[in-house]
Structure 1
Amino acid sequence: MPSVNGENETRPVGVKAAKAATSKGKRSLVDEGKNLQQVLVLKQEVNKTKLLDSLLSRTEPLTELEVALKDKLITEMLSM
């Protein structure tokens, strides 16, 4: 930034860091997308595990639909 007497002033401390973070962020969008996809897959697996756990821990008899879901979840987890 030019000063009043024509000399260049140094930038504030955060300006260079902000510019670096912006350009870095643009380059890593693909990586962030891959990381997000991995997180979503892991969340799905956790949700399936919780669902299976709740089905297995029930004391009352399961409906036909619940039995089919339990069998499907068990099959999926064993094939991993």
Structure 2
Amino acid sequence: MARLEGVKAAKTKAEEKEKMEFQSFWEIRQKDFTLKTTLDKQKLLESLVVKFGALSELEMQLKNKLITDLLA
């Protein structure tokens, strides 16, 4: 017994919809990861700026790198 002609088309349409939903979800996750990374860098920079006392050479390099990354 053969399937109706529209069954394959409906199945393909459903698969395409799932694929589009997955791509949309993946794009949202990538944007979220980028925002979280930026926020983490900002928090780290803030902790270095607020720190009392002199910063070590390594901390100064990190601070300068974070400033450069956030302004780029």
Please tell me whether residue 45 in structure 1 is matched to residue 38 in structure 2: yes
Please tell me whether residue 61 in structure 1 is matched to residue 54 in structure 2: yes
Deviations for 1:33-67, whole angstroms, at most 9, x for unmatched residues?
A: 01000000000000000000000000121111110
- RMSD over aligned CA atoms reads 1.9
Deviation at 1:26, TM superposition (A): 1.9
Question: What amino acid sits opposite 2:48 in the alignment?
Answer: L
Deviation at 1:24, TM superposition (A): 8.9
Q: TM-score, normalised by structure 1?
A: 0.65
Q: TM-score, normalised by structure 2?
A: 0.71
Paired residues, number:
58
Q: As a proportion of its length, which structure holds more helix?
A: 2
State how 1:1-80 maps to structure 2 within 5 Å.
26-27=18-19, 28-79=21-72
CA change 1:25–1:62 in 2 (3 A) is farther
Higher alpha-carbon Rg? 1
Deviation at 1:76, TM superposition (A): 1.2
Which of the pair has the greater relative contact order for Cα pairs under 8 Å at 6+ separation? 2
5+ residue gaps, structure 1: 1-22
Identity of aligned residues (%): 36
Moved more, 25-34 or 57-66: 25-34
5+ residue gaps, structure 2: 1-14
